[in-house]
Amino acid sequence: MLALATRFLREPVSLRLAEEFLTVPVDTIDRCVADVCACAQHLGVAATPEIVERIAREHLLAIVNSAPPPRNSR
């Protein structure tokens, strides 16, 4: 039952983040959201959609901002 509740929590969050982070693969976004849910549950923090989305967004921003700059073709 917990897995079903977690899935219903993750899907809308993943969809909103996928619309925001178009350059990040959807699988990466789904995995990030799932990891945040698992971490929150492990720490005993209420994994509300707002909290999961906020933390996952920060992780995804770190991924996007850490990407190397594109090479210049000469």
Q: How many CA atoms lie within 13 A of 16 on its CB side?
A: 12
Give the pLDDT band (50/70/90) at residue 10.
Answer: confident
Contact 60, 29 (CB under 8 A): yes
Give the pLDDT band (50/70/90) at residue 1.
Answer: very low
**Of 61, 57, 4, nearest in space to 33 by CA:** 57
What residue spans define the domains of the chain? 1-63
pTM: 0.80
pLDDT, mean over the chain:
87
pLDDT average, residue stretch 52-73: 90
The burial class, CB within 10 Å (0-12 / 13-18 / 19+), for 48 is exposed
Portion of the chain with pLDDT greater than 90, in percent: 70
